[in-house]
Amino acid sequence: IYCGAKAGDYFDLKGEMLSLPAGQGFSIYSLAAVLPLLAAKQRPTHANDWMTSDAEIACPDPNCASRLRIVRVAKRRFSHAETTAVPLPGKTEHK
């Protein structure tokens, strides 16, 4: 593996906050490959949507065999007001 990852390395994403265990890192190129998919993987998808089933992302280096697997470990509810200052049209939301 050329991107510095080791089997079992991981990061957590809770909403928009990404955290890594102490002493562990990820190549910015590997993260760049997976980041665009994470927001969609946090939302419910249709059963026939490829985002429902596909969860392995290849390292962008064509000579690297590593894969990043997206695993949902829990579901949570998002409050619109906690993630943006722009209110929903015609609605008020309280934190």
- Write out pLDDT tens, residues 11-35: 998 888 899 999 888 888 888 889 9
Alpha carbon separation from 44 to 30, 38, 62, 81 (Å, rounded): 24, 12, 31, 20
pLDDT attached to residue 95: 53
| In the block, residue with structure tokens 């409050």 | 79
Helix, strand, coil percentages, rounded to 5, for the chain:
25, 15, 65
pLDDT for 91 beyond 80 = no
Q: Do the Cβ atoms of 5 and 34 come closer than 8 Å?
A: no
Q: What is the mean pLDDT of residues 48-69?
A: 88
Global model pTM greater than 0.75:
no
Mean pLDDT value of segment 42-70: 88
Residue 48 in this model has a pLDDT that exceeds 90: yes
